[in-house]
A = this chain, B = another copy of it.
Amino acid sequence: MSRVKLVVIGGVAAGMSAASRARRRNPELDITVLEKGRHVSYGACGLPYYLSGEVRDANDLVVYTPQYFREKRNIDIRLEHEATTIERGRKLIHTKAPGARTIEIPYDKLVVATGGTCSSKLPGADLPGVFTCSDLDGAIRLRTFLEEKRPSRGVVVGSGYIGLEMATAFSQRGIAVTLLTRSAELLNGFEPEISKRLEALLQAHGAVLKKNTSVTAISSSPVDGLCAHHAGGIEAAGVMLLATGITPNTALVESAGISVGATGAIVVDDRMQTNVNGIYAAGDCVEARHLVSGRPVYFPLGTTANKQGRVAGENAAGGNDRFDGIVGTLATKVFELELARTGLSLAEAHAAGFHADSVTIHTVSRAAYLGGRPLIATIVWDMESGRLLGFQAAGEEGAAKRIDAAAIALHARMRIQDMLHLDLCYAPPFATVWEALLLAAGQAVKKSRRR
C-alpha cells in the first residue's frame, strides 16, 4: 500500500509550518513542498533589515535550510518548482520545474500556501531599478542593485508598514527618500494622532513626503535613471520601490474551483480547509476572521501565517486543530519609532457597525525620573456595551509589546469598565504606576459617563 501523499505549495512561513507540523503528526506521510523561489523557511518580515544592511547576510534570515528539511524532517523540498495547475480530477499538480520541464506531482492532501505579492501593474514597473519587495530573491536583487549602482535618491510608493520600513532602510543606507502615497494619512488603519507623529518623524529624518497623490507611470530618465509620474508632479530617483499593498496569490486555486471571498483571498473554515475537501490553505493567500468585527478580512502577516500553517498541516495529516481568527494585531518600526495596533481603528469600528468612540492619551514609557520616553496611545470602544474594540500605541520605547496586553483583552472581549484595575506590572525602569492601557481605559470610561 502506497503512503499518503501531502503536497504543500509554497515554502515560506505558512507552507513550511504546515509541512513541519504534518511531519510531526504523521511520520509515515509522504511530504513534498513546491517552492517557486530559491529559498524556503526565511523570515520575510526581516527583509527590510537585510536591505538596510543591519542583517549582513541573507542566510541569516533563513530559519532552516532545504537540506535540514530533507535530512532531519524527511520533507522533499523542490526549489524553483512553480505549481501552474491543480488538476482535481486526477489529483495532480502540474508544475514548472527547472530546465523548462513540466512535471505532474500527485497528491492525496494539499496545502496551498502561495502567499501574496507586492506586484504592480504600473506602466514602467518592469524597468531596471524598479523593485517590489515580496520575497528573499527579490530582496537579494534589490540589495545587489543598491550596492552596485549606489543611487543617491530613492522613491518609495506606498505608505503601509512595508513602504515605511523600506523608506527607513533606504534612508539608513544614505539614500535620500521621497515617499509617495495616495492616502491622506500614513499607515492606513492607524489613528490620526499616531499618523501625525509618524509624519513629523519622517520629516525629522529628511524624508520628503507627498500624500494624496497617485503614481500613474514610471519612465526612464537620463539623469537619475528613473522618473515617477504622479498627480503632484515628477520625482526623479535612481531606485524605486513599489509597496502599494499585498495581493493574495489565488490564480492557481481559482482555476481549480477553490472559493475566493470578497476580500480577494481564499476562503477557509476554522480548520483551514477550503471549500474542497482535503485541500487546505494558509498564510498570505487566505482571509481570516476578524474576531472583533466578526467579518472576514485580508490581513497578511507572518505571525498569522505560521499559526495557520500549523493548523493546516495538522489537519492535512489527519488531526483536528482550529484557528479561530485574528484581532488585527500589527507592529512596525519606522526609524526609531515603534508603532503597534490591535483591533479596530475608530473608522474601522464605525464601518463594522459599532457605535464607537475613541480617546487618545499621552504618557511615558517608564518613570519620568528614569528617562521615560513619550508614548501616545488611542483606545477605541463600543459606546453601547463598553466593549474594547481597539488599541494603538506609538513611541520610541516599549510601544510595540504593550499592544499584546490589549490584544488579549480583545480576545477575552473585555469591557472598558472592567479594565480600570487590571493588575499590570509596574517598576520605575519599565513603566509608570498607571500603565497606558489603564489610563486609556480610565479616560474612555470618563468620556462615556459624560454623554
A interface with B by C-beta (< 8 Å): 13, 43, 45-46, 49, 54-55, 60-61, 291, 301-304, 306-307, 311, 323-324, 326-333, 338, 340, 342, 367, 369-370, 398, 400-405, 407-412, 414, 420-431, 433-435, 437
Contacts and interface: CB of A to CB of B under 8 A. Distances in A.
B426 A302 contact: yes
The quantity of this chain's copies bound in the complex is: 2
Q: Of residues A330, A410, A426, which shows the largest number of chain B Cβ atoms within 10 Å of its Cβ? A: A426
Given A55-B370, A370-B55, A430-B338, A329 B425 contact: yes
A-B pairs, top 3 by smallest CB distance, nearest first, are A412-B412, A303-B426, A331-B425
Contacts of A370: 46, 49, 54-55
Given A291-B423, A301-B426, A401-B425, 15 more contacts: A55-B369, A306-B434, A326-B423, A329-B425, A331-B425, A331-B426, A340-B425, A401-B401, A401-B431, A402-B404, A404-B435, A408-B408, A408-B409, A408-B412, A408-B424
Contacts of A425: 303, 329-331, 340, 342, 400-401, 403-404, 407
Contacts of A411: 412, 414, 422-423
A369 B400 contact: no
A127 B93 CA distance: 85
A412 B301 CA distance: 26
Nearest to A321: B420
A18 to B, nearest CB: 14
12 contacts: A45-B433, A46-B370, A49-B428, A60-B369, A291-B423, A301-B426, A303-B433, A329-B423, A338-B430, A400-B427, A401-B430, A408-B408
